[in-house]
Amino acid sequence: MGSGPRVAIDAMGGDVGPAVMLAGAALAYKRRGDLSFLLFGDEARIRAELARHPELGPISEVVHCPDVITAEDKPSQAIRRAKTTSMGRAIAAVKAGDADAAVSGGNTGALMAMSKLALRTMKGIDRPALAALLPTLGENDLVMLDLGANTECDTNNLVQFAVMGAAYARVVLDLAKPRVQLLNIGTEELKGTDELKAAAAILRDADLGMRFDGFIEGDKLSRGDVDVVVTDGFSGNIALKSLEGTARFVTVLLRRAFASSVRSKIGFLISRPATELLKHHLDPNNHNGAVFLGLNGLVVKSHGSATDKGVANAIRVAARMVREDLTRKIIEDLDRISASAAAKAGEVAK
């Protein structure tokens, strides 16, 4: 077995199942050879894919699971079947310490519900948040959270999201002091809900490993001027889907434009290097791997339609969080913000 992170994989998750999940694991192992895997799902189908990727055999263990969570299953239904499903067993492996992190491309709501029930939230965190990397015009991607786990958030939730997002950015983006902003309807201090304004006041005074830069509007998300964007899950999910839709719109529009005439087709051949760069930048597989932050264990959500490259990227994200001990860093930051709040309360009381 590999000497590095051991990743539990829900082999039945995603649109294709074991074929793509194991191909992604093989690609991740090729890129970093210290990995090992626990593979959960239909043993016969997993063994068939292992035959196609013999390099995985010595560093993998197969755990047969008779049941699968489908896209139609409600979270409550998934929880009741946690002990028999590939998704539930993968999460349980993290809880038991048999795996360092879990990766699934299955039902997001079910994955969040089972992860939260099995792993529980960290001390100092009221609610876990779903965070992901989004492409920008800057030197690095940005971390955005929450992307759908919590439709309504209070001030403390937003502050905690900022702490977790900054810690995550330091790990995955290798930034010493990430730039953090709150998503709002304007950049002026007087704009936004009371919760947003109160969260901004706390973050401005916090002595943490981040640079809080106030508010950001939705049209500025891709400019590259921010490293972490914090919002509630309702607004975050809408913003994410809008960005994804815009990327698809631009891609289709360019394809139609280049196919409209012979001259356009010639123009496409001339500009192909530029269009290939654009395609690479907008490819969701290069940013695949949303993370449930704030749990006592690491769980990564791969997009259901991800290719082997996308799955490999999700595994890479999981492994890096393990190597960098992300959970410990979040706890340390939460302790610092609690100490800062207690000190200020003491000064007010004098």
What is the rounded CA–CA span in Å between residue 176 and residue 98? Answer: 31
Residue 72 included in any domain: yes
Same domain, 270 and 314: no
Same domain, 48 and 81: yes
Residue 328 included in any domain: no
pLDDT at 45: 95
Same domain, 135 and 275: yes
Same domain, 56 and 183: no
Same domain, 280 and 133: yes
Same domain, 90 and 233: no
For the chain, which ranges sit under pLDDT 70? 1-2, 207, 258, 262-287, 337-338, 340-350
pLDDT at 44: 95
Is the entire prediction scored with pTM above 0.85? Answer: no
Q: How many domains does the chain have?
A: 2
Cβ neighbours for 284, distance < 8 A, ≥ 6 positions apart: 244, 247, 303, 306, 310
Q: Domain holding 208: CATH number?
A: 3.40.718.10
The residue range of the domain holding 208 is 126-292
Same domain, 86 and 137: no
Same domain, 30 and 151: no
Same domain, 149 and 41: no
Same domain, 132 and 222: yes
Residue 329 included in any domain: no
pLDDT at 71: 85
